[in-house]
Amino acid sequence: METSALQNWVDQNPLAAIGTLVLIGLLLLLFARNVVARGLIYISSRTQTRVDDILVRHLRPRRISWLAPLGVYYAFAYLLPDYQEGIRKGALFGILMVSVLSVNALLSALNEIYESRPGFTGVSIQSYLDIIKILIVLVGVILSVSLFSGESPWVLLTGLGALTAVLLLIFQDTLLSIVASVQIAAHDLIKEGDWIEVPSYGADGDVVNISLHTIKVQNFDKTFTMIPTYKIVDVAYKNWRGMQESGGRRIQRSILVDMTSIKFCDDEMLSRLSQIDLIQDYLEKRLQAIRIFKNNQLSEVDSPLDGPQITNVEIFRSYIRSYLRQRPDIHRDGMPFLIRALAPNPTGLPIEIYVFTRTTSWETYEAIQSDIFDHLLAAASHFDLRVFQEPTGLDFSAFSSALAAGVKKTAVGS
């Protein structure tokens, strides 16, 4: 059928022409959705690569199928002069919306493909893609308004210039987030996968997503905390990435020694402690230094304060040092290794252990730390040291029983 004959038939049968055009559009939609789109989904599911699966999942071929009937309606709108303008505007608006959604979906797919690479280091590009998405949506809105108003897009953009202050107020958080995203990327502040603590937001866990407006943190209790991106550069936070990359995690914990149990070691105690293999060499050197001092003295040394002595807490610190150095799971070189006595306080003398484990795994680290302190708390009594502990109900009960027994004995004796 020639174009003129087709036009004459349409002019004579407008309702039939409209119905035929709608029917053709529906048939094209069914073909595109059930043949083309389904075929693409089937093919992607049969391939070994994940790239096409990600693209299909985000782009949604069934949604793109709407472009087929919309394109037909736009192309053949001239056959219905009375409705041509409305059909074309409606078709263009539909094509524009589907295109905006598809392009944004493509950007989301590209982000997922980027993050699923084996060499992904946690540097997120989602915030930049979000900026592009916002620009695409703005372009779509401007073109849509221009389409229905008949005004040039440039005229609309000129009018928006006069509303700059209002736009800045509306998009204040977005602009701040853009600046924050640039700072985060430029200074390598946070990456996906980092363990961070943000006390002001109650966040303590792993960063699972960094977008333009929010940073999503999965806490260790499996809850999620959403932090505005622009706030992360304003609040105090701790990033544990440095610890994870160093290969060592710090142990900084003290044993509180009851100061009334600290004393000079006598010969019997020194003889007994010399049998501990880990401190034999240390004790031998200290005893040799004491013997040399005594031999050099003209007068008799008749007081423990007349010369150098060894205390049980000093030997205990040496034991801790030797015990930790022989453990294969503790860094001995390259990282701080301190066993020190801190300032005495009402709860005793703190003997602080400041060392680093050879692992950053949380579970392994806690197991190592527990094993060390279980051993040292049990070993303290071998040095005649008491570990300080606040009195409990059992202590008060024993004290009351002893006091009552003393009173009863006194009464019987009198």
Give the model confidence (pLDDT) of 70-97 as tens digits: 888 888 777 777 777 888 888 888 889 9
Which of the listed ranges 3-12, 157-166, 353-362 does the model predict with the highest average pLDDT? 353-362
List C-alpha distances in Å: 97 to 105, 115, 143, 195, 343: 12, 27, 10, 39, 70
The kind and range of the H/E element at 224 are strand 224-228
DSSP string, 85-135: HHHHHHHHHHHHHHHHHHHHHHHHHHHHHHHTSTT--S---HHHHHHHHHH
Indicate if the pLDDT at residue 15 is higher than 70.
Answer: no
| pLDDT of amino acid 414 | 57
Cβ atoms of 230 and 180 closer than 8 Å: yes
Judged by average pLDDT, the poorest of 20-29, 32-41, 277-286, 404-413 is 404-413
Token pair listed for 295: 């031999």
| pLDDT of amino acid 304 | 64
Cβ atoms of 57 and 101 closer than 8 Å: no
Q: Determine what percent of the chain is predicted with pLDDT higher than 90.
A: 34
Q: What is the mean pLDDT of residues 202-207?
A: 94
CA angle 280, 283, 289 (to 5 degrees): 140
| pLDDT of amino acid 61 | 86
The kind and range of the H/E element at 222 are none
- Provide the pLDDT confidence category of residue 267 given band limits of 50, 70 and 90: confident
Per domain, the residue ranges of the chain are: 3-175, 186-240, 249-383
Measured distance CA(398)–CA(317) in Å, rounded = 32
Total length of the chain: 414
| pLDDT of amino acid 216 | 94
Higher pLDDT, 342 or 186: 342
3 state DSSP class of 83: coil
Judged by average pLDDT, the poorest of 9-13, 30-34, 236-240, 290-294 is 9-13
Q: What is the mean pLDDT of residues 139-152?
A: 80
3 state DSSP class of 210: strand
Q: What is residue 311's DSSP assignment? A: B
- Provide the pLDDT confidence category of residue 408 given band limits of 50, 70 and 90: low
Which of the listed ranges 276-290, 303-317, 395-409 does the model predict with the highest average pLDDT? 276-290
| pLDDT of amino acid 375 | 95
3 state DSSP class of 354: strand
The whole-chain average pLDDT of the chain stands at 84
Measured distance CA(349)–CA(255) in Å, rounded = 8
Give pLDDT tens digits for 320-377: 999 999 999 999 888 999 999 999 999 999 999 999 999 999 899 999 999 999 999 9
The kind and range of the H/E element at 398 are helix 393-413
| pLDDT of amino acid 156 | 67
3 state DSSP class of 204: strand
Closest CA to 248 of 240, 259, 256: 240
**Max CA pair span of the chain:** 138
Cβ atoms of 164 and 215 closer than 8 Å: no
Class of domain 186-240: mainly beta
3 state DSSP class of 150: coil
Give pLDDT tens digits for 166-185: 666 777 788 888 888 888 88
- Provide the pLDDT confidence category of residue 395 given band limits of 50, 70 and 90: low
Residue labelled with tokens 């010369």 = 307
